[in-house]
Amino acid sequence: MSDLKPLFDNNRRWVAERLLDDPDYFKRLSELQAPKYLWIGCSDSRVPANQIIGLRPGEVFVHRNIANLVVHTDMNALSVIQYAVEYLKIEHIIVCGHYGCGGVKAAYENKELGLLDNWLRNIKDVYHAYNEELDAIPDPKAKMNRLCELNVVEQVSNVCHTTFVQNAWTKGQQLSVHGIIYDIHNGLLQDLSIRVKDAAQIENIYQMMPKKKTA
Ligand code: CO
């Protein structure tokens, strides 16, 4: 406990500040969670979702992992997406990458890291998919920045390929998937101008036909 004392102190101060603004703050928050956004971002401690986009508790549903990946065998990320789409009925899924991502950098290198290698392998696959474009960039920093962006592009696609997202579109649910990137050097978000709003925007091979109802 003593090791965590500063954190508990911070917490008590935070609660007091919230209650000063609004005595019903926690009562209201405990009764309803109705976020409009699902944030899929990197675990990097410098990329805290709520602070960056100025949203309060209750306003954004968050999933973070190393290098903001959406892997189609990852039950954790998939469960988050299903819950957010089907139950919370969020309207926007935001995949947010960031420049200077340690996960992306590690994936670019050839050092063996252990279990992590299996996770980072997904980013190596992104590199492989775009190797012509990336190999043509001479400046290592620019190359890495572009890999961070392309990783977002691919993760947006992975989100769109899930059955949950496609079923939502089929049902006419309003749902957009966005790709953005954060610059840890200046704190600014950049829109990568990726916005997917229906299944027609995804490659045919990944499109799912709605299940036929059996009598
Ligand atoms: Co990162």
Contacts for 90 with CB less than 8 Å, ≥ 6 apart = 35, 36, 37, 38, 61, 84, 175
User: Largest Cα–Cα distance in the chain?
Assistant: 63
**Residue 182 alpha carbon to ligand 1 centre in Å:** 10
Same domain, 67 and 169: yes
- Domain-embedded: residue 20: yes
Same domain, 27 and 78: no
- Domain-embedded: residue 204: no
Same domain, 50 and 109: yes
Q: Give whole-number Cα distances, 132 to 54, 84, 109, 147, 154, in Å.
A: 38, 36, 17, 12, 16
**Residue 78 lies in domain:** 33-199
Same domain, 2 and 77: no
Same domain, 52 and 103: yes
Same domain, 108 and 25: no
**Residue 170 alpha carbon to ligand 1 centre in Å:** 33
Same domain, 15 and 53: no
Q: How many domains does the chain have?
A: 2
Q: Can you point out the beta strands (E) in the chain? A: 37-42, 60-65, 92-99, 176-183, 188-196
Same domain, 20 and 97: no
**Residue 42 alpha carbon to ligand 1 centre in Å:** 5
Q: What is the CATH number of the domain that holds 136?
A: 3.40.1050.10
- Domain-embedded: residue 177: yes
Q: What are the catalytic residues? A: 42, 44, 46, 98, 101
pTM: 0.93
**Tens digits of per-residue pLDDT, 39-86?**
999 999 999 999 999 999 999 999 999 999 999 999 999 999 999 999
**Tens digits of per-residue pLDDT, 129-183?**
999 999 999 999 999 999 999 999 999 999 999 999 999 999 999 999 999 999 9
Cα 12 to Cα 35: distance, rounded to the nearest angstrom: 25
